[in-house]
Structure formats: structure tokens, C-alpha cells
Amino acid sequence: MLGNALRHLLRHLQYVQQFMYFDDQLKCASNLSSRDVVVICSVQGTYPFRYNAIWNKIVSRGCKIVVITQNVESSYWNQADYIIPCGKTNANDTGKYSALIIIDMLLIHYMGKYCNIVN
């Protein structure tokens, strides 16, 4: 069932990619279009500051930006289209776990909408 869903997504160019390393993220950001959506998970909200070159490239490409963070008040997020809060504290890594759950929920919703495998 999952294989059929992935084939469907790839056939319709509706798929998800994840890039963990700086060079890969910068290359991906350089190839974004206005039809793309970027999901940034930064529990403390420091991604734009720490990876300024990537952030500026993402913003310049005109794609939709979804941010998952605890630091919802950061002025960096003024350029984000959607901000999803993931709790108030990172004690015992609860912020990280909350962010992972949010990503799972987004992916399940996405697959339900485009794959017709989740009811």
C-alpha cells in the first residue's frame, strides 16, 4: 500500500525530500520555485541566524515557508507563511518530540490528501 502511494506521489511530482547537511540544503534552496513548500523545524528558532545563506535563498525563491518552532515571536519568522508552535519548553527534549509529532501529522495529512490511502 505504501509503495502504491509513493508511486502515485512521484508520478504527480508531489513528494517530500529531506536534506540534513548545509551544502545539500543550499543546493535545494537554490532550486526551489513558487510551487514548492519548505518546512523548517527549528525548536529554538535559530535556523535563520545559524544558516543565514540558506534562509535568504529560501526566502528569495518565493516558495511557501512553514516553520515548526517554540520561538514563535522571533522576527526571523516574519517572512514565513505559516508558523506552527511546538510547545513552550524543551525540558527533557519535549520540544523536539513535539516537532517530530507535528511533522508526522503533516505527512499523514499530505498523504491522505494526495494518496487516498489514509482515511
- Domain spans in the chain, listed from the N-terminal domain onward: 2-115
Region 44-62 average pLDDT: 94
> Which CATH entry fits the domain spanning 2-115: 1.10.760.10, 3.40.50.720, 3.40.50.10490, 3.40.50.620?
3.40.50.10490
Q: What per-residue confidence (pLDDT) applies to 94? A: 81
pLDDT in tens, 17-50: 778 889 999 999 999 999 888 999 998 889 999 9
pLDDT of 65 strictly over 80:
yes
Q: Which of 7-16, 18-27, 33-42, 94-103 has the lowest mean pLDDT?
A: 7-16
What proportion of the chain, given as a percentage, has pLDDT over 70?
Answer: 79
Query: Would you state the pLDDT for residue 9?
Result: 56
Which triple of cell numbers denotes residue 18?
529531506
Q: Are 32 and 59 in contact (CB under 8 A)?
A: no
Rounded to whole angstroms, the Cα distance separating 1 from 4 reads: 5
The predicted pLDDT at position 98 comes to: 87
Q: What is the mean pLDDT of residues 90-110?
A: 82
Burial of 54 (0-12, 13-18, 19+ CB in 10 A): buried
Q: What's the confidence (pLDDT) of residue 14?
A: 58
How much is the pLDDT for 48?
Answer: 93
